[in-house]
Amino acid sequence: MAARPLHQGMSRLVPSGFLSGLLAMGIAGACSSGTHTPSAAAGMAGALADSGGAAFRAGASGVAVGGAAGASAAGRGNGASSAGGTASAAGRGNEPSSGGGSASAAAGGMSGAAASAAGQGGSAPAGGASSAGSAGVPLTYPPAASEHRAIGTHDPAMIHVGNAYYLFGTGGLLSVRSSTNLARWTNAGTIFSSLPAWIKTALGQAPADLWAPDVSYVNGTYRVYYAGSTFGSNHSVIGLATNTTLDPQDSAYEWLDQGLVLESNRAGSKDDWNAIDPNATQDAAGNWWLVFGSFWSGIKLRRLDTATGKPSSADTTLYALAAHAGGIEAPSIIWHNGYYYLFVSYDACCKGVDSTYRTMVGRASAITGPYTDAAGKAMLQGNAVQLLAKDGRYIGPGGGSAFRDGDLYYYAYHYYDGQMNGASELMLRPIDWKNDWPELAAPRWQ
């Protein structure tokens, strides 16, 4: 496939009306509360759902995108709680509490932590075909539709391979859905049949769900980065699973657990960052990087070894890219006309109609930064250009990823539907450019 994906995720607790919204779409069980069930519940895959997602065609040396997810303080959120006591576990929430211990099961999260953002897609590698897109051939998306599509998802991550679109999502053991028209989806398997043992060993407990799957395509192999964490803690892990095909009917279909990629705040360390919301991307020279982070001290970046997909031994620097006092997560990076653009989500997700997510962006001339807003003010100081915010029924738009498909760019994300009791749904918008800054065009459906 030479891929370009989108991303998806869910937080752990179910906001009012969210489960009923999923059930109405035939995605029963999306909010699993305890055990890992490789069913529709995990990642909302499973039963047919009238939905559509963004995706991009995988081409021969392509990079699938997908990545960061945004569960904020109320979701996957790892925001720092100034007061102490309980870390709001409303969702995937890993807010560091200054004083307390227990994570409260606040009602804001979405269950299942859907974190992958949407195709983070990539930068064009130096000299070659676009990292996404079938050998550089742009993906032909269906015409924009005027009907409302209730596509249940959170932090979507998608990829287009042949005539099929694959939608990845957090929750349970990382279920996958496929579609040939971005409107009707079917179950396309589950990445894991049981929780990898190393995750429980690393965290000291088995997380109820895996979060933020991000899909990319590197040297003939699909790579899915994902996160494991617990409420009220930034002791988190990012893992990697690989496969040579996404078609469950292919005899070569087999997901392989490649183990740990990164771990934050392990025993004996005092990390002020959180290893969730991973998003793999490529720089203009063809090097691979992993951008990630949620709340705490913000968004981070590590260089990867292209051959293994694990952190590079040649560059061990943990780069700091962006921060925001009100919460920041769901990062994704694309390259365009000499600049790297960092898309993030500000504020709180996973609270249904009370979600305050906003989509923001900044840019830099180097993938490692410094990233700034249009006025040249640093993203590390909480500055960025706003792209999306609440608009009528479309509440809390964010948790998405930007991706490139040939000469085209897209942003896939979720929002909370004010006319469906705050259910989290998928949206896709083309990215236009004005004076080397991104602007989001009209959505591909309503």
The residues assigned a catalytic role are 155, 329
Torsions phi, psi for 114 (to 5 deg): -80, 100
Beta strands 103-104 and 87-88 are parallel
| Residues 321/301, Cβ–Cβ less than 8 Å | yes
Find all residues with CB under 8 Å of 249, minimum gap 6, and list them. none
Confirm if 117 and 66 have CB atoms less than 8 A apart: yes
User: CA 340: distance to chain centroid?
Assistant: 18
User: What residue has token string 């676009």?
Assistant: 130
Give dist(CA 22, CA 29) in Å, integer: 8
Indicate the length of the chain as a whole number: 446
The SS3 of residue 221 is strand
Query: HSE on the CB side for 251, CA within 13 Å?
Result: 0
- Residue 77 CA, chain-centre distance (Å), reads 13
- For residue 370, cis peptide bond before it (omega within 30 degrees of 0): yes
Rounded to 10 degrees, the C-alpha dihedral 304/270/295/202 comes to 60
d(CA 186, CA 333): 29
Q: Three-class SS of residue 238?
A: strand
